[in-house]
Structures are given as structure tokens and as C-alpha cells.
Amino acid sequence: MGPLASTYWSQGRWKEAEELQVPVMETTKRVLGEEHPDTLSRMANLAFIWKGQGRSGDALTLMQRCVIARGRVLGSNHPDTVSSSTTLAGSDAHCLKGCDTLVDETL
């Protein structure tokens, strides 16, 4: 289901992407654990989907969790951590209150 969710995401079919991505993320979390790198990748993907749906607040909260967990699990210089941090930094300025320190620490 993950690749199909990614296809829907790339086509801007946000609702269909979310309907597939949520169960994929939940299953990965249950099987591999909440902070496994695969779970964190699915979490980041869901954040992108939510951002595409206009759910910026939800997306920001989820991406913050992803950045923190990736920093803890993979290290602050890992490409996935840096990518999530960059995404977080590129979010709407009004959503970033309180996040600047988090981004600075991971970069």
C-alpha cells in the first residue's frame, strides 16, 4: 500500500493517499516500533500528505515529532533528520513559533 499512497500523493490525491498511508504507518509502528526509521519515514510521508490537504498545523506537529525522533535515533547529521528539519524550517512562518530552536539543534 505504501507505493500506491506515494503515487496518490504525487498526483495530489490527498484523501486517497491518507487513506492508505495511515494504516501503513500504524502497521509499521506496531511491527517495528514507534521510533524505527521505517516508521519515521512513513510519519514524514503522512505529514506531507496532511500539508497537501491544508492541515498545516497537524502536519507541523507530526513533522516536529519526526524531527525529534530522527535526531534521537539517527543522529542530527543523518540525511533523513536533515531532510525533516529542512521541511520543518520551510513551513509557514506563522506555524514555526517555538520550532526555531529545534531546527537549529538538528541542523
Residues 65-99: b if buried by 16+ CB within 10 A, e if exposed: bbbbbbbebbeeeeebbbebbebbbebeeebeeeb
Residue 100 pLDDT more than 90?
A: no
Count of domains in the chain?
Answer: 1
Q: What is the pLDDT of residue 27?
A: 96
Give mean pLDDT, residues 77-103: 69
End-to-end CA distance of the chain, in Å?
Answer: 32
The CATH code of the domain that includes 81 is 1.25.40.10
Q: What is the pLDDT of residue 34?
A: 95
Domain that holds residue 41: 2-106
pLDDT digits (tens, 9 = 90+) for 5-64: 889 989 999 999 999 999 999 999 999 999 999 999 999 999 999 999 999 999 999 999
